[in-house]
Chain A
Amino acid sequence: KNQVEQSPQSLIILEGKNCTLQCNYTVSPFSNLRWYKQDTGRGPVSLTIMTFSENTKSNGRYTATLDADTKQSSLHITASQLSDSASYICVVSVGDSSYKLIFGSGTRLLVRP
């Protein structure tokens, strides 16, 4: 069964600190992996998209990594800000019908002043 698992479920950090969120997937065939940020009451917004041949991609203070061999990804947030408080969702696209996205349950991040 195609699954995406994320850890931790929730995380609290102090403003200015770094953090790393983890994602493991069992999706086949794999097409690409995305990280989305979802603010409370809003729809998800894409942060990064990576294919199997890409092992790192940055978007400002967000850096995603992908190890297609171990089927693991991480999202690193540098110098956190209060506005980073949100859910971060790892999403994998299934290769044979790549419009179909498999979502993880997300990591809820709270950045405290």
Chain B
Amino acid sequence: GAGVSQSPRYKVAKRGQDVALRCDPISGHVSLFWYQQALGQGPEFLTYFQNEAQLDKSGLPSDRFFAERPEGSVSTLKIQRTQQEDSAVYLCASSSSIGGSYNEQFFGPGTRLTVL
């Protein structure tokens, strides 16, 4: 596709509910990233995939957060038993390069999650 797409754009969940957020990266992009952006703050790194391999999940805030990219393309970020503090915008980004010091990351529009 022309850019990174994410769905849904908005999600309202009741506390304790499980949610799944989808990211479709730019076709052919090897690297995929998930970020969490709290209101009024910059994004914070959650996890990094190189193809289907999750190489870094150091930013995932708890074991309730799980991400996968089984075929090296579409990725899903799953949050189990959502809590109010999970409310944020979840951004996905993809890059054509593998790591590297100059890799351009292209961001999707984000999914705004609100936990009631």
Residues of A within 8 A of B (CB): 4, 31-32, 41-46, 49, 51, 89, 91, 93, 95, 97-101, 103-106
Contact = CB atoms under 8 A, between A and B. Distances in A.
B101 A105 contact: no
Contact of B56 (A4, A42, A95, A100): A100
Contacts of A106: 41-42
B4 A105 contact: no
Interface residues of B, number: 26
Given A45-B107, A99-B56, 18 more contacts: A41-B109, A42-B110, A44-B107, A46-B104, A46-B105, A46-B106, A49-B102, A49-B104, A89-B42, A91-B42, A98-B100, A99-B99, A100-B45, A100-B48, A100-B56, A103-B42, A105-B40, A106-B41
Interface in B55-109: 56, 91, 93, 95, 99-109
Nearest to B31: A99
Is the contact region of chain B dominated by helix, strand, or loop, or is it mixed? loop
A106 B33 CA distance: 20
A49 B33 CA distance: 18
Given A41-B109, A99-B33, A4 B95 contact: no
B18 interface: no
Contacts of B93: 43
A52 to B, nearest CB: 10
B68 to A, nearest CB: 18
Contacts of A41: 109-110
A34 B99 CA distance: 16
B4 A99 contact: no
Contact of A103 (B4, B40, B44): B44
A46 B34 CA distance: 17
A97 B8 CA distance: 30
B91 to A, nearest CB: 6
Given A42-B109, A43-B93, A103 B43 contact: yes
A89 B107 CA distance: 13
